[in-house]
Amino acid sequence: MFKQLELIYLVGTEQDLIGSRAAHRNEEGYLYRIKMQPLAARLLFLVYLERINQLHYQPEFYHLLKNSCTVNIVRHANTIGREGPWDLRHLLNGWVDRYLYDVGLLYNQIPFEELRDRSNITQTINDAYRKPDFSDLIRAGLPRPPPPVSPPPLPPATAARHYRPTAPPRANAR
């Protein structure tokens, strides 16, 4: 919990990251379609890339309450404009899907338990592992939310207000 493990982000293909967890470590896999505008998704991706680069220059330690997987996901979402209060489920990995459902970021036209059952792709992962169309196969039976009725994507000027990249620290000149 305190300065024992260096914080890292794993980057890889879906097949490598999701497939290996189910196929080799016998972990369950769930896949949900997040309700997010395309521009917001791109901004979130850029925030992740920036964070990965920051950790290269300035390593940090994992901390259960301050610097964990789910806490950092919320932090990154806040960077691109997420609004809402802190929630205990931000600390509990097994409850993040329920939190996303409750705040309307997942398809919520069916009860959560049904959505979770239909989003369990463990068997599909095992069947599709190492197939070239892995990404399509794991999404084939997922519930699809209706087209968003939210406002149109953020214009670039508005998006820029939410995301301000930072430069990596400079090496001291000697």
- Would you give per-residue pLDDT tens digits along the chain (174 residues)? 566 889 999 999 999 999 888 888 889 999 999 888 899 999 999 999 999 999 999 999 988 888 888 889 889 989 988 888 999 998 887 899 999 999 998 988 999 999 999 999 999 999 999 999 999 999 998 987 666 555 555 555 555 555 566 666 555 544
Alpha carbons 169 and 163: distance in angstroms, whole number: 18
- Are 99 and 87 within 8 A, CB to CB? yes
Alpha carbon distances (Å) from 120 to 21, 125, 134, 148? 14, 10, 15, 23
- pLDDT score recorded for residue 174: 46
Q: What is the pTM of this model?
A: 0.77
Helix/strand/coil (H/E/C) assignment for every residue in 89-113: HHCCHHHHHHHHHHCCCECCCCCHH
Alpha carbons 61 and 139: distance in angstroms, whole number: 34
- pLDDT score recorded for residue 70: 85
- pLDDT score recorded for residue 158: 52
